[in-house]
């Protein structure tokens, strides 16, 4: 799934409609629901586990939340996703990458 999301761009122009952050079995889990535009599926849920770090920013002056670009890379033995990267073509993490999660594994589900 990592390779599919990295290559096919199905998250471009999607909208994040829900973010859940919770503890399950002493582990931080983040679930992100996205409404897709350029895909056969209408919505997907990305479930990030073994979360090491995350950061999301919200300001009511801006519309929440269209994914105009994203960065998905491996960082050592972890993965990193930014839904608002400084440079989506870069293969490294920037301090200016926004709305990000560093995690050990993830799953994707179609939401009906």
pLDDT of 5 > 70? The answer is no
3-state secondary structure of 107: strand
Confirm if 31 and 46 have CB atoms less than 8 A apart: yes
What does the alpha-carbon distance between residue 101 and residue 81 come to, in Å, rounded to a whole number? Answer: 5
Per-residue pLDDT reduced to its tens digit, 30-74: 999 999 887 677 888 999 999 999 999 888 887 778 888 899 998
Q: Give the range of the structural domain holding residue 90, as residue numbers without chain letter.
A: 2-111
Sheet containing 15-24, strands listed edge to edge, beginning at the edge strand earlier in sequence: 15-24, 27-35, 43-49, 105-111
Per-residue pLDDT reduced to its tens digit, 62-100: 777 888 889 999 889 999 999 999 998 898 999 999 999
C-beta neighbour count of 35 within 10 angstroms: 17
Based on C-alpha coordinates, what's the Rg of the chain?
13
pLDDT of 7 > 60? The answer is no
Domain count, the chain: 1
* Sign of the C-alpha dihedral computed for residues 5, 104, 101 and 64 taken in this order: positive
pLDDT of amino acid 4? 58
pLDDT of amino acid 68? 87
Query: pTM for this one?
Result: 0.87
DSSP 24-74: ETTEEEEEEEEE-SSSSSSEEEEEEES--EEE----TTS-S-B-S--EEEE
The dihedral region occupied by 31, where left means phi > 0, alpha psi between -120 and 50, and beta the remainder, is beta
pLDDT of amino acid 110? 85
């Amino acid at each position: 799934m990592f390779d599919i999301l990295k290559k096919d761009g199905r998250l471009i122009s999607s909208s994040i409609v829900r973010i859940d952050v919770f503890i399950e079995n002493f582990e931080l889990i983040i679930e992100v629901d996205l409404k897709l535009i350029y895909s056969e599926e209408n919505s997907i849920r990305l479930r990030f586990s073994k979360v090491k770090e995350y950061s999301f920013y919200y300001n009511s002056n801006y519309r929440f939340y269209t994914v105009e670009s994203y960065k998905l890379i491996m960082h050592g033995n972890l993965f990193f996703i930014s839904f608002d990267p400084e440079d989506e073509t870069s293969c490294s993490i920037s301090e200016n990458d926004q709305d990000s999660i560093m995690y050990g594994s993830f799953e994707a589900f179609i939401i009906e």
